[in-house]
A and B are shown apart, each in its own frame.
Chain A
Amino acid sequence: MKLFKLRTKNLEHLGKSRLYFGLFFLGITSSIHSQYDISVGINYISAFGKRSIDLQNTTYFLNNTQGYEVTLNNSYHFTNRKVETIFKVGFRQLYFSGYSTNLTYNGQLNKLVGAAGLNYLVTEEINLSSYLEIENNLDLDEFNAGNGDLFRLSLSLEGKYKISEKLGLTCLFSCAMTPISEVYILINPQYQVRLGLTYQITK
């Protein structure tokens, strides 16, 4: 009778998801003894990974993929703690190119990005952060809740050096975890290194 229970089973999953989301939301918003900062970031991106990819019996060789990213960052600082939670939203544009024996190609990729993570204040000037990043994997005109592979999930590590009270230098390494099929990484390689600046708007 497994099939009969499918609808109920789905609803149960939906209920659990909502519960987890609710608890998570409650957790991040109930940090009564915290203060938050808003900053903007701009990053240069160099993406890399496989240098050649086979698609349907044709080998494509990838040239450099690079681009930029603009983010709005919101960090919650807990009183008397060395840890902050950080949330980011932003826009990323990548430029890619490559060739096969019969053609050359180039193009651009626009992504809406978000990230959530923890920042550890090593010293007054140096911070280390780790994020779970999310971006639209499919084009947004192909978006439908009934599809898989909608989002790319990546893990990243970031180091930040405060040049002044408001300005910071950042260096980040990101590794895409899923989905990383060749159809996706041909134009959006699996790894990224980002170098950038942050400017603190509020404190």
Chain B
Amino acid sequence: MKLIYLTILILVLFGCKKINVEETLPDITNISPTNMQSNLDRIDILADSEDLTHMYTNYLSDIQIPAEIKYYGSNGILIFSQEAFIEIRGAGSAANPMKSIGIVFSEKINNSSYQIIETSQALPGDDLSQLQSIRLRNSGNDDGITHLKDLALTELAIRNSIDLELKYGKAIQVYLNTKYFGLLNMRTENDVMALSDLLNVNIDDITMMKMDFPETDLDYREGNKEVAQSLIDAIENEDGYELNQLIDIDNFIDYILFEDYVGNTDWPHNNAKLYSINGGKFRFLLFDLDWGLDRNRTQRLPKMEYLEDDISLMYQVLREYDHGFIEALENRQKELYELLSSTKFEAIIYDLSNQIDSEIGYLIQRWGPPHSTLEWRLNLSQLQQDFEVNEFYSRKIYGLF
């Protein structure tokens, strides 16, 4: 056994690359939200220093602290200032040095006027005119790599009008008590508060269910317990008819096909969330795609034929129960593979990377990794390559060339 470990160690040590880069990075010692040379909006989070340190250090303790949020435009001019509660967010990535911060404003933000998240990008049925809950995300497991993977894969769904609820967002420069904190992605949330804004419904009308690894069962989170229980029962009883009545099948098909297309390895056993409005059909939320394309020749759908999480079980039951489901799935898959392509993804990477091209230096200077703009560009190119490889193997396995 020791010999095996030694061999693995030797392979890892010797089969690698090292790159040294010399470049001039921006000075971050004397920058502020008003004088920073940046094309992005900026947020300054003002909070008691001790509270902030306490929250930051105990990042797994769900500590909320009051703060004042000052939002500046790309020209450094203050757009609005509002009281809020902030909290460290994320699961595994909460341990990263640059943490994600959740913000719940004391009052709804009039986003129609402020446009902190562009309202024009909203998919049909979504309303971004009011925001109360947002997250400044460190890019999750992509932190230190491209800083835009989750955003880019979500953008692919938005630009192609996939029938899903998702988190809108953009890159933003963030300050903590007017000291430069980092380049993060400002995202809409998908909790009941955010959904009530997005869908223009009362919070009390929403029933939310979620599955978090290592649990593989969907759990009731908020809203009507009976509605949630009926879905749990239908899955447990493998009741295809009832499932068909309880979930929005077209949405479910788009959901599993898109997660499969982007090869999200942190799904379906994790990051699964669905909601019902007033007992209506459950719809699925797309989020946390930062493990997308991670195993670029391992498709999700074939595995879901034998996985035991509730999303996979729903898939198995619907396949077994309803042959119309398989036909609908295959037809929609063909449509999606005609709609989506690596060329479209490349265009998204081009747009998003251009937005932060002159900003990434600040992040490298503050945190590293990535340790250089070259490393970042190599990571972006690798992401595009992973997408192409993933798409190639998907088309091959599904016979969709």
Interface contact A6-B305, CB-CB below 8 Å: yes
Q: Give the residues from 96 to 119 in chain A that come closer than 8 angstroms, CB to CB, to chain B.
A: 100, 102-112
Interface contact B21-A103, CB-CB below 8 Å: yes
A91 at the interface (CB under 8 A from B): yes
Some 5 contacts from A to B, beta carbons below 8 A apart, are: A7-B302, A108-B18, A111-B15, A146-B265, A146-B295
**Quick one: given A104-B21, A187-B17, are A140 and B374 in contact (CB under 8 Å)?**
no
Interface contact A140-B17, CB-CB below 8 Å: no
Interface contact B22-A147, CB-CB below 8 Å: no
Interface contact A56-B393, CB-CB below 8 Å: no
Partner of B21, one of A4, A9, A105, A144: A105
A43 CA / B399 CA spacing, docked (Å): 44
The stretch of A32-40, A74-82, A178-186, A195-203 that contacts the partner chain:
A178-186
B177 at the interface (CB under 8 A from A): no
Determine the residue in chain B with the shortest Cβ distance to A150. Answer: B297
Shortest distance between the CB of B312 and any CB in chain A (Å): 13
Q: Most chain-B CB neighbours within 10 Å: which of A6, A106, A136, A147?
A: A147
Shortest distance between the CB of B85 and any CB in chain A (Å): 38
Interface contact B389-A55, CB-CB below 8 Å: no
**Quick one: given A4-B305, A147-B296, are A183 and B381 in contact (CB under 8 Å)?**
yes
B372 at the interface (CB under 8 A from A): yes
Determine the residue in chain B with the shortest Cβ distance to A99. Answer: B22
Residues of A within 8 A of B296 (CB): 146-149
Shortest distance between the CB of B326 and any CB in chain A (Å): 7
Q: Give the residues from 288 to 310 in chain B that come closer than 8 angstroms, CB to CB, to chain A.
A: 295-298, 301-302, 305-306
Residues of A within 8 A of B392 (CB): 148
Residues of B within 8 A of A111 (CB): 15
Interface contact A3-B302, CB-CB below 8 Å: yes
A139 at the interface (CB under 8 A from B): yes
Determine the residue in chain A with the shortest Cβ distance to B333. Answer: A3
Residues of A within 8 A of B353 (CB): 56-57
A139 CA / B20 CA spacing, docked (Å): 16
Interface contact B302-A105, CB-CB below 8 Å: no
Residues of A within 8 A of B389 (CB): 147-149
A10 CA / B296 CA spacing, docked (Å): 16
Shortest distance between the CB of B256 and any CB in chain A (Å): 11
A181 CA / B387 CA spacing, docked (Å): 13
User: Do most interface residues of chain B lie in helix, strand or loop, or is the interface mixed?
Assistant: helix
Interface contact A103-B17, CB-CB below 8 Å: no
Residues of A within 8 A of B6 (CB): none
Partner of A107, one of B20, B23, B265: B20
Instruction: Report the interface size for chain A: residues with CB under 8 A from the other chain.
Output: 43
A58 CA / B357 CA spacing, docked (Å): 10
Residues of B within 8 A of A105 (CB): 19-22, 372, 374
Q: Which residues of B contact A (CB under 8 A)?
A: 11-24, 265, 295-298, 301-302, 305-306, 319, 326, 329-330, 349-350, 353-354, 357, 372-374, 377-378, 380-382, 384-385, 388-390, 392-393, 397-399
**Quick one: given A1-B326, A186-B378, are A57 and B357 in contact (CB under 8 Å)?**
yes
Shortest distance between the CB of A165 and any CB in chain B (Å): 33
A184 CA / B389 CA spacing, docked (Å): 14
Shortest distance between the CB of A60 and any CB in chain B (Å): 7
Interface contact A140-B15, CB-CB below 8 Å: yes
A183 CA / B379 CA spacing, docked (Å): 8
Interface contact A148-B17, CB-CB below 8 Å: no
Q: Most chain-A CB neighbours within 10 Å: which of B16, B302, B397?
A: B16
Shortest distance between the CB of B112 and any CB in chain A (Å): 33
**Quick one: given A3-B329, A7-B305, are A110 and B385 in contact (CB under 8 Å)?**
no
Residues of A within 8 A of B381 (CB): 55-56, 181-183
Shortest distance between the CB of A177 and any CB in chain B (Å): 16
Partner of B12, one of A10, A141, A182: A141
Interface contact A91-B374, CB-CB below 8 Å: no
A105 CA / B375 CA spacing, docked (Å): 10
**Quick one: given A10-B302, A102-B24, A147-B297, are A60 and B15 in contact (CB under 8 Å)?**
no
**Quick one: given A4-B305, A148-B389, A181-B381, are A103 and B16 in contact (CB under 8 Å)?**
no
A125 CA / B398 CA spacing, docked (Å): 53
Residues of B within 8 A of A104 (CB): 21-23
Partner of A140, one of B12, B20, B298, B329: B12
A143 CA / B14 CA spacing, docked (Å): 13
Residues of B within 8 A of A182 (CB): 381
Partner of A110, one of B16, B329, B399: B16
Shortest distance between the CB of B116 and any CB in chain A (Å): 27
A122 CA / B350 CA spacing, docked (Å): 54
**Quick one: given A110-B15, A136-B15, are A56 and B305 in contact (CB under 8 Å)?**
no
Interface contact B380-A140, CB-CB below 8 Å: no
Residues of B within 8 A of A106 (CB): 19-20
